[in-house]
Amino acid sequence: MAIDTSKVATSNSSAATPAKPGRAGAVATWADERLGLAGMAKKNLRKVFPDHWSFMLGEIALWSFVVLLLSGVFLTLWFTPSMSEIHYEGSYDQMRGIAMSEAMASTLGISFDVRGGLLMRQMHHWAAMLFIASMMIHLLRVFFTGAHRKPRELNWVIGSLLLLLGTLEGFTGYSLPDDLLSGTGVRAADGFMKSIPVVGSYMSFFLFGGEFPGDSIIPRLYIIHVLLIPGLLLALIAAHMLLLVYHKHTQWPGPGRTEENVVGFPMLPVYAAKAGGFFFIVFGVTALMGGLMQINPIWLYGPYDPSKVTAGSQPDWYMGWPDGALRIMPGWETHLFGNFTIAWNVFLPIIVLPGLMFTILMLLPFLEAWITGDKREHHLLQRPRNAPTRTALMVALMTFYGLLWMAGGNDIIAIKLNSSINTITYMLRFLVFVGPIIAFVITRRWCISLQRHDNEKLLHGYETGIIMRSPEGGYSEKHLPINPSAAYVLSARERDEVYTVEQETDENGIPAPASRAKALRAKLSTLWFADNVQAPTAAEIEAAHHHADHEHELQAALDGHAADGHQFDGHHSVEGDPLRGSDQH
């Protein structure tokens, strides 16, 4: 094979001459000299990401949002956000000639007259469901594993805002077709706003451009849905990802993993290939759902008519919990000054409760840090059992959410179970207060029991199922040590440190009384860590292993020899070896 030696140095005194860069290289050099892109790209493209299935939950939310953007752009090409009344003359016979808004007619046109339109509509709707569901599960994973702790509190707040905005985006989206079901939801939203004391009627008037329903709500919801909230979502997702890169990814404890490093695969080529493949999986599953699973068949509901209400109407699942709170709330009202009414039965469950729940959600990392006094940075995750109170707190909130979500279908439950809707409503009123407390107690005790089990396994090994009998006649189960990797995972947790009030003294040496805030913080810290089982010390592990080695030496003499009742354990020959003391007949 011929070798091109034109670019090779011919002597020790003359250097090789590089070829002149091409146009692409020249442009890249020009940009790098002014923007410094090469160094930044080299650093970030080789950034290491840990590998664990639970980290994919956040990616499902990200790729679902991408599917939403792609399918949403397609739908905007044919959707008409207008409330002007026309007579439908499309291909769906049952609706032909019926008066409806242009928004409803264009949605029917997308569903029946645009090639692939119904598929894209249903993909868009299913992607919205997946987007919110995956954000919720991702949020739970982050909280249960302690990934919300310093320095990621701000990212937790951003994630909570993404969940809130995603919920509002979904509501504005399924309100756009102007069918009877979505119109009932918009009618309910009008009532929700009007329940706000003093300013509620003004807010409704400005949003609807007059009295409900007006002719402006669909165009305004359209702008909110395709421009305002997506812009905020894009900005928050970008900030979320930038903070993820800046703080580096959390990882599970394991050999070689510390608070100072990240063990995993680089962005290029491994992680980028995995992420790209996972996008196509999410896209493919969403496409299958859109093609095979019907959702929001507006042609069955018909156009919106303010004089009609859809029987058994329910919002999308992520709006079910405030709807459930509304259904089980007693009909409380306050009448002031003769003609001013405060509708507590609407204002509290729909306006106050969601605001309170999202506020609590965003404050959780800060409340935990204040109670525990933990100001350290954490990059290693915790197993949920190793933070019993935190885990139990979230399970209590999940129980509260689930019961309200169940209440959103109290009428359906009553029909399916042939029960009284009043009885179900009264039971749910009781359970939303008692259920979270029961769930908290059970979960906390469960986690503490699992902590004890882990310590027993770490100190004494795992249960083999082999029962040994001592010469004295006592029975014990044989334990064997767990492998080093499993032992590392069980032992790689910090011991809890309860916050205590440091007494300050004045110039006379008299202790100053602790402030109420510090005293409360100390009491809450004690309750937070109460009954937790601490990880064994190195000395305790060493002593347990020494004792286990001694037991193994004693048991080694019995290995291979059958004892009473052990002839049939599968490891010994039973021929000619009857049980001692048994009758030979």
Pairing assessment for the beta strands 475-480 and 462-469 based on DSSP bridges: antiparallel
- Assess whether 391 and 294 both reside in one domain: no
Torsions phi, psi of 570, nearest 5? 90, -5
| Number of structural domains found in the chain | 2
d(CA 536, CA 543): 11
* Position 346 in a domain: no
- The H or E element that residue 48 is part of is strand 48-49
Question: In sequence order, which residues have a C-beta less than 8 Å from that of residue 531 and are 6 or more positions away?
Answer: 388, 444, 448
In this structure, the dihedral spanned by the alpha carbons of residues 185, 191, 193 and 196, taken in order and rounded to 10 degrees, is -150
Helices (H) and strands (E) counted in the chain, each on its own, are 20, 8
d(CA 289, CA 119): 9
Domain span at residue 406 reads 383-502+513-563
* Position 34 in a domain: no
* Position 236 in a domain: yes
Rg (the chain; Cα; Å): 33
Residue-wise pLDDT tens for the chain (585 aa)? 555 555 555 556 666 666 666 777 777 777 777 776 666 666 667 778 888 888 889 999 999 999 999 999 999 999 999 999 999 998 999 999 999 999 999 999 999 999 999 999 999 999 999 999 999 999 999 999 999 999 999 999 999 999 999 999 999 999 999 999 999 889 989 999 999 998 999 999 999 988 888 889 999 999 999 999 999 999 999 999 999 988 888 998 888 888 888 888 888 888 889 889 999 999 999 999 999 999 999 999 999 988 887 667 788 899 999 999 999 999 888 888 777 888 899 999 999 999 999 999 999 999 999 999 888 899 999 999 999 999 999 999 999 999 999 999 888 899 999 999 999 999 999 999 999 999 999 999 999 999 999 888 888 887 878 887 877 788 877 778 888 888 888 888 888 888 887 766 656 666 666 677 888 888 999 899 988 888 887 777 777 666 655 555 555 555 555 444 444 445 555 555 554 444 444
Burial category of 68 from C-beta neighbours within 10 Å (exposed 0-12, middle 13-18, buried 19 and up)? buried
- Assess whether 418 and 283 both reside in one domain: no
Query: What pLDDT is attached to residue 583?
Result: 46
Please work out, in degrees rounded to the nearest 5, the angle formed at the alpha carbon of residue 312 by the alpha carbons of 310 and 316.
90
d(CA 21, CA 25): 6
- Assess whether 394 and 484 both reside in one domain: yes
- Assess whether 298 and 413 both reside in one domain: no
- Assess whether 389 and 303 both reside in one domain: no
- Assess whether 309 and 391 both reside in one domain: no
* Position 299 in a domain: yes
Query: What pLDDT is attached to residue 202?
Result: 92
Query: What pLDDT is attached to residue 385?
Result: 93
- Assess whether 79 and 216 both reside in one domain: yes
- Assess whether 291 and 394 both reside in one domain: no
Query: CB–CB of 98/303 below 8 Å?
Result: yes
* Position 214 in a domain: yes
Query: What pLDDT is attached to residue 511?
Result: 63
d(CA 553, CA 143): 45
* Position 130 in a domain: yes
User: Which CATH number belongs to the domain containing residue 289 in this structure?
Assistant: 1.20.810.10
Query: What pLDDT is attached to residue 580?
Result: 45
Query: What pLDDT is attached to residue 121?
Result: 96
* Position 143 in a domain: yes
